[in-house]
Amino acid sequence: MSVKVRFAPSPTGRLHVGNARLALVNFLFARKQNGIFQLRLDDTDIERSTEDNARAIERDLAWFGLRHDEFARQSDRLDRYELAAERLRASGRLYPAYESAEELSLKRKAQLAGGKPPRYDRAALRLTDAERAQLEASGRKPHWRFRLDDAPREWDDLVHGPTRVAGSDLSDPVLLREDGRPLYTLSSLVDVLELGITHVIRGEDHLTNTAAQVQLFEALGGPVPVFAHLSLLTDASGGKLSKRAGALSLEALRDEQGIEPLALASLLARLGTADPIEPRTSLEAVIEGFDLSRFGRAAARFDDEDLVRINARILHALPYEAIAPRLGALGLSAVDRDFWNAVKPNLTRFDELATWWSVAQGPIAPVIEEAGFAVEAATALADEPFDADTWSRWTASLKSRTGRSGKALFRPLRLALTGREHGPELKVLLPLIGRDRALARLRGETA
């Protein structure tokens, strides 16, 4: 079977980590199976869907490296949903119901108070033609429900394994709003059928709904796709991640926190599995290490600190060729291979490269704590050219001259040369600073 999956966000907001995980898993599964990855915008909620959000979703996915093979918009397919609804009406499976939202809420509360599951009581099916006509004459417009049968439906979920849900445990789902617009269940099912989706990989919050959707697939003529329901993400303490969706949007991770897309992919591709989370320096490597069968049913915990650590490890492993195309955007086109290799072990985010470029090229305000020692250091500094051994020869000479060692020797030199307590090794940074700047900084001059 040729594999085709879809990622189907609603353009009612920005993508966050939970969305990104589903998009990534669908993409990786398709690529591992030499299949097709489809992006479908579920934009039938016209009040909340915006073109700005739609563009942001495509931009975020492109940054993440998830290039889609096919694209669809539900707003372009409204006629297909109406045709499907007509087929269901003709078969007697789609029926009008007239309760208001308030009336349905009261019914649910009464059922829960009585210890019963909140299941629609099918009161609309007991209405006479005259009663329906009277309701419509009073201005009531019906929503339309799909009538389920009570027989259980079973499927072999790729994450949860054999799953069985009885139709008697479910409530007839609403497929059409009062204004005739389709709801998610109808439009999504029609798209899966007509656009040839073979595997539906989504969150486990849809697991119970699947039984009702299997019935709808059957009513519309099948085939039923293969399902996989991933555990939902929690935060590091086990709480709901959704409460932090704004802070964990892909836009914020990229633009505010400086997260590398490969760091996010390396983490999300393994969250929920027993496999170790390892930094990958290419999307091909993430694909190669992906295995859907490794995902378990336990909640997967997303920890910001893990992401930051992986981000740093990926930057430390990236070769110069991988970052060279990005230098112009930071105004750092002059950064060469030697400079990158010198400073990357100290980076936690890519834009910190600009900080160390300014340290090397200046001007900076040096910190001189001991003027006499700084003068001694300037006197002992060798002539250029500087090389990888200049630092060790210089500090050995200073140790011999002054008797200093350890922190007493190295800390004042670092403060004078960089203005900072910590940073890249000075044996690699000193040749990048150069003798003239080093001497000026040892004299306390901004250089």
- Sequence-separated (6 or more) residues with CB below 8 Å from residue 323: 340, 350
Q: pTM to 2 decimals? A: 0.91
pLDDT at 417: 96
Among 390, 389, 391, 398, which residue's Cα sits nearest to residue 370? 398
Q: What is the pLDDT of residues 194-229, one digit of tens each?
A: 999 999 999 999 999 999 999 999 999 989 999 999
d(C-alpha 346, C-alpha 348), whole Å:
7
- Residue 287: its H or E element: helix 283-288
The answer to whether 386 and 392 have CB atoms below 8 angstroms apart is no
d(C-alpha 68, C-alpha 7), whole Å:
9
Q: What is the pLDDT of residues 388-421, one digit of tens each?
A: 899 999 999 999 999 999 999 999 999 999 999 9
DSSP state, residue 69: S
The domains of the chain, with CATH numbers, are: 327-357 (no CATH), 371-442 (1.10.10.350)
Q: What is the pLDDT of residues 131-160, one digit of tens each?
A: 999 999 999 999 999 999 999 999 999 999
- Sequence-separated (6 or more) residues with CB below 8 Å from residue 321: none
d(C-alpha 19, C-alpha 433), whole Å:
45
Q: Is the pLDDT of residue 242 over 80?
A: no
- Sequence-separated (6 or more) residues with CB below 8 Å from residue 93: 146, 147, 219
3 state SS of 435: helix
Q: What is the largest CA-CA distance in the chain?
A: 108
The Cβ-side half-sphere exposure at 46, using a 13 Å CA radius, reads 8
Cα angle for residues 298, 303, 306 (degrees, 5° grid)? 115
Give whole-number Cα distances, 102 to 106, 139, 181, 265, in Å. 6, 16, 20, 44
pLDDT at 145: 98
